[in-house]
Amino acid sequence: MGYFNGGKEVYSGLLPMPVRTCLVIALLSIIPGIGFAQVPLKVMTFNIRFNNPSDSIYNWDHRKKMVIGIFQKHSPDIAGLQEALYSQLSDLGDSLKTYTWFGAGRDDGQKAGEFAPILYKTSRFIKIDGAWFWLSKNPDIPGSRSWHAACARIVTWLMLRDRQSGQLFFFFNTHFDHASEEARIESAKLLRKKIDEITSGRTVIVCGDFNSTASDQAYKLLAEKSSPGFFIDTRASLPDTVKEPTFSFVGFPYHPEEGNLIDFIFTRNAALWKIGSYHIITDNRDGLYPSDHLPVAVEFLVGKLK
């Protein structure tokens, strides 16, 4: 298996991922006594829009400083990006030295096509394990797609130890298909199945561009309370006072529609985690936005282990 870590390609000859993950979880299953102190953990999901030269004044060269500025100003501890090309990740890596990124291109599992990478502060987390899979009937085959999807779609995940709280958790990041409702529904089912297999009931954060609003079936499969093992939508769990704006997709040029919220941060099995705040970031420069999506940020208060 290979992965890119901070832009460096690495290959390992370890045990198969499910076996490896189960062994790691078993080794880490002895948890010290739990204290009452809490530490903040900032999470962000951000579709940065792929580098499309035909975007004219909205192309990457005009936006990359603003994307970098989002990280510098809001300083998420960990973030899931969508639509990032390898060249864009290289640009971010050159400026955001405190972060490590992890992921693979969706077209070949290496550098080709869009990534759904995870960026995390190197000083904050210890990487325990991580990999990716495709949203298709053949999730282990690079570039595979099913269910009339317009594009190959990938999920990236990491298992991390938080140095500040001592807690172990999993972080998943993805981007559902924009064209096929069938693909979004089946992707939600597969995502849940794989998370169950990989995490064995551990704390999970799931973020991404789901190309689904809260009224769509794909969202309901993930977050509907009547669905067994549902995920908590961090936005829905907080008071209405934090729920402005009501959209995350804004387009180029900026033309948002009320209710067009398709970027989410979910969590599950987070007994020692409290959702402290939720924020849709609207930073812009004279009406030019860093992407056709707004970043979504959540701050968790995480119970600190003794």
Q: Which amino acid is at 177?
A: D
Give the per-residue pLDDT at 13: 39
Whether the CB-CB separation of 93 and 6 falls below 8 Å is answered with yes
Give the per-residue pLDDT at 227: 72
Fold of 34-268+284-305: Deoxyribonuclease I; Chain A (3.60.10)
Which distant-in-sequence residues (6+ apart) come within 8 Å of 280 by Cβ? 244, 245, 248, 294, 295, 296, 297
Whether the CB-CB separation of 230 and 211 falls below 8 Å is answered with no
Q: What is the pTM of this model?
A: 0.89
* pLDDT tens sequence for the chain (306 residues): 344 444 444 333 344 444 444 444 444 444 444 446 899 999 999 999 999 999 999 999 999 999 999 999 999 999 999 999 999 999 999 999 999 999 999 999 999 999 999 999 999 999 999 999 999 999 999 999 999 999 999 999 999 999 999 999 999 999 999 999 999 999 999 999 999 999 999 999 999 999 999 999 999 999 988 777 899 999 998 876 566 799 999 999 999 999 999 999 999 998 889 999 999 999 999 999 999 999 999 999 999 986
For the stretch 252-261, contacts whose Cβ atoms lie closer than 8 Å and that sit 24 or more positions apart, written own/partner, are: 252/49, 252/55, 252/58, 252/292, 253/58, 254/284, 254/287, 254/289, 259/213, 260/213, 261/213, 261/214, 261/235
Distance CA 203, CA 195 (A): 10
What single string gives the DSSP state of each residue in the chain?
-EEEETTEEEE---S-HHHHHHHHHHHT---PPEEEEEEEEEEEEEE-----GGGGGGSHHHHHHHHHHHHHHH--SEEEEESB-HHHHHHHHHH-TTEEEEE-BTTTSSSSS-B--EEEETTTEEEEEEEEEESSSSTTSTT---TT-SS--EEEEEEEEETTT--EEEEEEEE--SS-HHHHHHHHHHHHHHHHHHHTT--EEEEEE-S--TTSHHHHHHH-TTSTTPPEETTTTS-GGG--SS-SB-TTTT---TT---EEEEEES-TTEEEEEEEE----BTTB-SSSB--EEEEEEEEEE-
Give the per-residue pLDDT at 36: 62
Nearest Cα neighbor of 293 from 134, 78, 67 is 67
Give the per-residue pLDDT at 244: 78
Domain limits of the chain? 34-268+284-305
Q: Which residues of 254-266 are buried (b: 16+ CB within 10 A; e: fewer)?
A: eebeeeebbbbbb
Distance CA 45, CA 40 (A): 17
